[in-house]
Structure 1
Amino acid sequence: MDLKLKTEHFNSENHITISGSKSESNRLLILQQLYPDLQIENLSDSDDTHHLQEALFSDMTIADIGHAGTAMRFLTAYFATQEGVTKTLKGSERMHNRPIQILVDALRDLGANIEYVEKEGYPPLKISGKKLTKDKVSINGNVSSQYISALMLIAPSLEKGLEIELVGKITSVPYINMTLQLLHQLKIEAKFKGQTIKIKPKSNVKKQMIVVESDWSSASYFYSIIALSKVGASVKLSAYKKDSLQGDNCLSEIYKHFGVATTFVENSILLIKEREHNSAVLSQNLKNAPDIAQTIAVTCFGLGIACDLSGLHTLKIKETDRLEALHKELTKLGAEISISNETLHLKSSSKIKNNIQITTYNDHRMAMAFAPLALKVPIEILKADVVTKSYRNFWKDMLCVGIQNVTIK
């Protein structure tokens, strides 16, 4: 589905309800399998979470998780611990080119039986579950935090628990802390100090309900919309917590640069464009929140201001090489942009080319990050239905705030 977007007027003072965080939901679903007395409310409606659930609840020996990187990593660790269960995990073509060797090596060090079905170091994987008895493992700290979280999630189910040594510089710390805090909510003893994570074994947990906070990454697109709107524009989003576990809640601070204020009202956030944006260069290290890099880069371009973004090395192994994708699509729109393996530099500009077709590269965040530009110029989003990976109601919610979308193919 290809969409043409345009905006005649912004519908202010809308109240949008966003589904649960994909990151929290996927972690909790793994924990629920290990501790069935755990109940979950406000699960994410994303494709990633649906794929994860299907793999967990299906008796089939082969599970296809599509583009769901989180599901691939968490399920690899989970099925490695399931004695007597054999499961082959496969995915999309892109998934079969996303590295997983670091996690597989760590699990093998613990005694796991995992085979590469095709290419060494990449999915598909054939996993023969068994009892893992070792209780210490090392893994690089500068890789995707999902590898580390995958090990943390299975740790309390192991006979002796697990001690994880993180080697070198540690990135995406908020996502490690999210996993840690969810373990704490289940009264599991877990500590993260220095370069070491220690998690004690726990055979069962008390019956309890955990309500998943709405996804802050999804909120980023509304931050962008308000930033690109006139002073006075506002939108309310539910359901959010001031003491969020999600690293992307740094949006509330970053978007002050663009004149956007965030007010917490009960379980919602109210976004208001209080003033014009700061025209100074935005310099931001996003190593702890890389998923909002695309949104921020597009916001800066839409406002005609420069930005220097760093800490982006993990973007190259996402659904697409997001740095390359941003470079290509922003250039098409008239931007002057340069990238390295972990940085993005955008020069200030005053003109945006209209009716440009944005290629999405099977990446949900490419479609959603560029949508707010419709407040400035008509724009086309190719294969726009890719948004279901994380946000099924995205285009419906865009209509609510005044971004019209017409199917052109």
Structure 2
Amino acid sequence: MLLNVNPLNNLLEKAYIPSSKPETQRAILAATLAQGKSVVRNDLRCLETTTMKEACRAIGAVITEQDGYLEIEGVGRNLRSNKRVIDALGSGLVFRVFSAITSFSNTPEIITGDKILRGRVMAPLFDALDQLGAKVSHIAEQGQAPVVNWGGGFEGGRCVIPGNVSSQFITAIMFAAPLAAKPTEIEIVGEILSISYIKQTIQALEIAGIQVECSDNFSVITVYPGEYQPAEYAISGDYTSSSYVIGAAALYPGKTILQNMSLVSLQGEKAILDVVEKLGIEISFDEQLQELTLINNQGTLSGEFEFDASDYPNIVPTLAAIGAYVEGTFRVIGGSITRLHKSPRIKAMVSELQKMGVDIQPLFKDGVYDGFEIHGKAQYEGGLELSSWGDHRIFMSLFIASLRCKTANQLEGYADVICSFPDFFTEFERLGAKFTETNGQGEVKKEA
């Protein structure tokens, strides 16, 4: 099934932004590893946070969903399996963290995932766990999911992880490390990308009472043995999800208000605000009301711009969608890590936007996709069928890029928004977007 995304003439005023996925997932993990009851307020409920909750329940956590918050009765060090198979589905974070923390299970655990996840790079995490003394076996392909963690724990010590593949490897070791008998030193070698996610992990651990030391450049992180303490976590709005609404607001004159937003955030993707400010969008916050207001007094976007996305890779596809409409030059670099996400995201956006007629060329670093350069224009013809490449963030970015085409584009992969932004279509309907579900042969199945 495909989604016809019709041209949008103007953007209406208000949208509600979902809560942060990475903050919610980390809070659920920390609460699970504490002995006693924790509360996670303003949590995000989507496929990937549900997957995290189910994985935590599989090791004994009792998680109760209340209106606006979670109550979590954690297991502390007593990881008691009741399933023996933990299915991470498409969540890289769930797979990676549980591959590490099940080192401290009393019984063997199988950790698996869907077809896309089973093809993703995991070897650096397994190498680090091996250096620490964990016992992990590969069921199919060496260095990939699924695996068996035989449990029995590891003492601590030193491991080495590359900094330019996935910060989730580092997060996984950090969450497991407090359960070890000795301090765990993580040496991060090479270029370190996505530092904001490491900062979010440190924050979650420290709220739970875990001692963490970090060098100024994040090349060495030491996590000390300790007991996770029950705590209360307050989750803020998700800046990656907000980027789609902010991107649309940058394309249309007028005022747009985003609810559930806070300026106080460690999320690197908060840089979307810097990007659109440089494009000429006015921004103001009401922290008490948790509202972000964007005022766009421009009919068109133009200028010469370059952005380094090395600490905000999740909005690289959104930046491509915005850049398609910037007359001048719009360059993004530092996105090499996105080649290892759910899809090779730069390659995907370059390919699909070129179909639209966008003058976009990939930029390479050390032989891999690192960014792109766009010479945009105010509008495109549209009337094309575009692919999401099996990636919810590619779909949502192409949705934004399609809004200013002259005729509707057809996009596949729309069901995947449940991974991170379940109310995506509801919020864009509120903003005035129109779209129809079709069978790809012109027959309308559902209209919004």
Provide TM-score, normalisation by structure 1.
Answer: 0.94
1:392-403 alignment runs, 5 A limit: 392-403=422-433
Partner residue, 2:171: 149
Asked if 1:203 is matched to 2:227, the reply is yes
The residue type equivalent to 1:404 in the other structure is K
- Change over 3 Å in CA distance of 1:123–1:41 after alignment to 2: same
Going from structure 1 to structure 2, the CA distance change for 1:204 and 1:329 (only over 3 Å counts) comes to closer
Q: Secondary structure at the match of 1:402?
A: coil
Distance in 2, Cα, partners of 1:143 & 1:374: 31
The one-letter code matched in structure 2 to 1:116 is H
List alignment gaps of at least 5 residues for structure 2: 59-81, 440-448
Given the alignment of the two structures, is residue 167 of structure 1 paired with residue 181 of structure 2, yes or no? no
Deviation at 1:55, TM superposition (A): 2.0
Provide the residue aligned with 1:183 in structure 2. Answer: 205
Equivalence map 1:87-236=2 (5 Å): 87-193=109-215, 194=217, 195-205=219-229, 207-230=230-253, 233-236=254-257
**Given the alignment of the two structures, is residue 67 of structure 1 paired with residue 90 of structure 2, yes or no?**
yes
Matched with 2:33 is 34
Compute the displacement of 1:278 (Å). 5.1
After superposing the two structures, state which structure 1 stretch, 335-344 or 270-279, moved more: 270-279
1:48 to 2:45 alignment: no
Is 1:273 paired with 2:296? yes
Q: Secondary structure at the match of 2:214?
A: strand
Moved more, 170-179 or 288-297: 170-179
Aligned to 1:12: 12
1:148-206 CA-to-partner distances (Å, cap 9, x unmatched) read 1111122223222322111222111111111112222233221211421122222242x
Cα distance change, pair 8–247 in 1 and its aligned pair in 2 (3 A): closer
SS in 2 for 1:284: strand
1:277 to 1:134, Cα distance in 2 relative to 1, 3 A: same
Match for residue 313 of structure 2 among 290, 293, 296: 290
**Which residue identity lines up with residue 21 of structure 2 in the other structure?**
K
User: Residue type matched to 1:357 in 2?
Assistant: E
Q: Secondary structure at the match of 2:115?
A: coil
Using the TM superposition, give the Cα deviation of residue 305 of structure 1 relative to its aligned residue in structure 2, in angstroms. 4.1
Measured on the aligned residues, the alpha-carbon RMSD in Å equals: 1.8
CA displacement 1:276-321 (0-9 Å, x = unmatched): 5552222111010011011011111034443221111111111111
What does residue 306 of structure 1 align with?
Answer: 329
One-letter identity of the residue aligned with 2:410: E
The question of whether the paired residues in 2 share the 8 Å contact of 1:227 and 1:277 is answered with no
The 3 A distance-change label for structure 1 pair 10 and 279 is closer
CA contact (8 A) 1:180 1:191 kept: no
Superposition deviation, residue 63 in structure 1: 2.5
- The 3-state SS of whatever aligns with 2:399 is helix
- The letter for the 2-side match of 1:2 is L
Question: 1:122 and 1:8 mapped to 2: Cα distance?
Answer: 43
Match of 2:66 in 1: none
SS at match of 2:156: coil
The 1:64–1:188 alpha-carbon spacing in structure 2 relative to 1, beyond 3 Å, is closer
| CA contact 2:207–2:231 (8 Å) conserved in 1 | no
Distance of 1:261 and 1:104 partners within structure 2? 46
SS of the residue aligned with 2:380? Answer: coil
**Whole-Å separation in 1 of the counterparts to 2:8 and 2:146:** 47
- Tell me which residue corresponds to 1:353: 381
Structure 1 position 366 matched with structure 2 position 394 = yes
* Aligned residue identity for 2:256: V
Distance in 2 (alpha carbons) for counterparts of 1:181 and 1:204: 13
Give the distance between the partners of 2:99 and 2:300, measured in 1 at CA. 45
Deviations 1:215-255 (A, max 9, x none): 1100000111111102xx22222322222021111111111
Name the aligned partner's letter for residue 385 of structure 1. Answer: A
Moved more, 353-362 or 369-378: 369-378
SS in 2 for 1:155: helix
2:165 aligned partner, one-letter code: V
What's the CA shift for 1:43? 1.9
Measure the CA separation in 1 of the matches of 2:262 and 2:342.
Answer: 28
Structure 1 letter corresponding to 2:252:
S
Count of matched residue positions in the alignment of Structure 1 and Structure 2: 404
Deviation sequence 1:77-98 (CA, Å, 0-9, x none): 121222x132212222211110
* SS at structure 2 position matched to 1:306: strand
TM-score (norm 2): 0.86
Structure 1 gaps of 5+ residues are none
Alignment-derived partner of residue 79 in structure 2: none
Deviation at 1:262, TM superposition (A): 2.2
Name the residue aligned to 2:67: none
Hey, what's the Cα distance between the residues in 2 that align with 1:131 and 1:392? 37
The answer to whether structure 1 residue 343 and structure 2 residue 351 are counterparts is no
For the residue of structure 2 that corresponds to 1:40, the secondary structure is strand
Counterparts in 2 of 1:199 and 1:34: CA distance versus 1, 3 Å: same
- Sequence identity of aligned pairs in percent? 23
SS at match of 2:209: coil
Q: Are residue 390 (structure 1) and residue 420 (structure 2) matched?
A: yes
Cα displacement (A) at 1:358? 1.4
Aligned 8 A contact 1:30 1:78 in 2: no
Looking at structure 1, the residues matched to 319 and 403 of structure 2 have their Cα atoms a distance apart, in angstroms, of 15
- What secondary structure is seen at the aligned counterpart in 1 of 2:348? helix
Q: Aligned partners of 2:228, 2:311: CA distance in 1, in Å? A: 32
